[in-house]
Amino acid sequence: MLLSLFPVFIAGHALFNGTSVQTVHRGMSVNISCNYKPATDSDDIVELITNGALCCSAMNSNKSWIYRPCRNHFRFIWIPETVQMAFEISNLQINDSGTYKCVVTRSIPPPSVLLREERTFVQVIARPVVSVSHISAFGGFHMILCSSEGFYPSALEQLWMRNGEFQNASLTHSINKTNPDGSFTLHSYLNISDCVNYSCWVNHSSLSQPTILHMSPDCYGNRDTNVWIALVTSSLLILTILIITAVCEHSRRAHHRSHERVNVTPEPDLQSHLQYDIYSLLGDHHPVPCSPVRVRSSPQ
């Protein structure tokens, strides 16, 4: 359940145990009124204090204001038309949350007298940035992730819905972490085994109404199918290229062998050569066949 130690308002202020409460979104500004009108014949000092440290101050002397140095994004505001004073804190961040005291004292004539002390609690809130995605888990399981990032305060509800009905929180695995700026992040994981509509439901004090993000079935059902189609298509393409390469290589080698057979000229044998020589010596007479002469060696 959504819990908070302080009353939460999207804008404006309320009273809590005598302390004014103002709830402001991160990055916005707030005015802390002192609700005091200084007298014209006295010297008054107005200070804004938080956690015992001085943030800003000003002094009214001889019907004019003397402004003193203030911390970053703090300033004193004086409205002469309405004779009102206040302190402005601009560009509020999460670490600016806290209780602020507007203290008014009179120093002249001495001794110093506390004229007024007013407390204001400033609650800085930050909206969660919600996103949903599909992730692949080990072992072939499908898992969806819902993330709420950068929210403050830490109280937040984040639930899964299946076909419009809330899922049992025990089926989810959640991880909380604190960010460097003081905000929080929550990751919720849910194992799925079917192809239906899932939604992430988030509620926070910074939201005027819960946020619901939907995931269509093909986000997690068709992704594996598309991967298998891509793998099969790539395999067929590679196989086709290999077949074409093998056919082209076989054709090239066959053509090379036939070209070598055409260019080979048979050499005349020894008998034809001898017949040609004898025919040339006889002139116009018919050639006499000649057989090779065998030479016998005489015995020694």
The answer to whether residues 137 and 205 belong to one domain is yes
The answer to whether 59 touches 43, Cβ cutoff 8 Å, is yes
Distance CA 276, CA 258 (A): 32
The per-residue pLDDT for range 237-247, each reduced to its tens digit, is 888 888 888 88
Distance CA 217, CA 51 (A): 52
Q: Which of 180, 196, 223 is where one domain is finished? A: 223
Question: Given pLDDT bands bounded at 50, 70 and 90, which one contains residue 233?
Answer: confident
- The answer to whether residue 159 is domain-embedded is yes
The answer to whether residues 40 and 113 belong to one domain is yes
Centroid of chain to Cα 28: 25
pTM of structure: 0.62
- The answer to whether residue 289 is domain-embedded is no
Residues 6 or more apart whose CB falls under 8 angstroms from that of 93 comprise 26, 27, 124, 181, 182
Q: What is the CATH number of the domain that holds 204?
A: 2.60.40.10
- The answer to whether residue 58 is domain-embedded is yes
Which residues are paired to 100 by β-bridges? Answer: 50, 120
Distance CA 199, CA 140 (A): 22
Q: Which of 104, 125, 146 is where one domain is finished? A: 125
The per-residue pLDDT for range 66-100, each reduced to its tens digit, is 888 899 999 999 888 888 889 999 999 999 999 99
Q: Is 149 exposed, middle or buried (0-12, 13-18, 19+ CB in 10 A)?
A: middle
For 168, the domain range is 129-223
- The answer to whether residue 117 is domain-embedded is yes
DSSP classification of residue 40 = T
Residue with tokens 């004014």: 20
Return the minimum-mean-pLDDT range out of 10-19, 28-37, 66-75, 96-105.
Answer: 10-19
Mean pLDDT of the chain: 79
| pLDDT of the residue at 10 | 36
Q: Among residues of the chain, what percentage have pLDDT more than 90?
A: 41
The answer to whether 83 touches 28, Cβ cutoff 8 Å, is no
Number of domains observed in the structure of the chain: 2
| pLDDT of the residue at 151 | 97
Average the pLDDT over 213-232 and give the result.
62
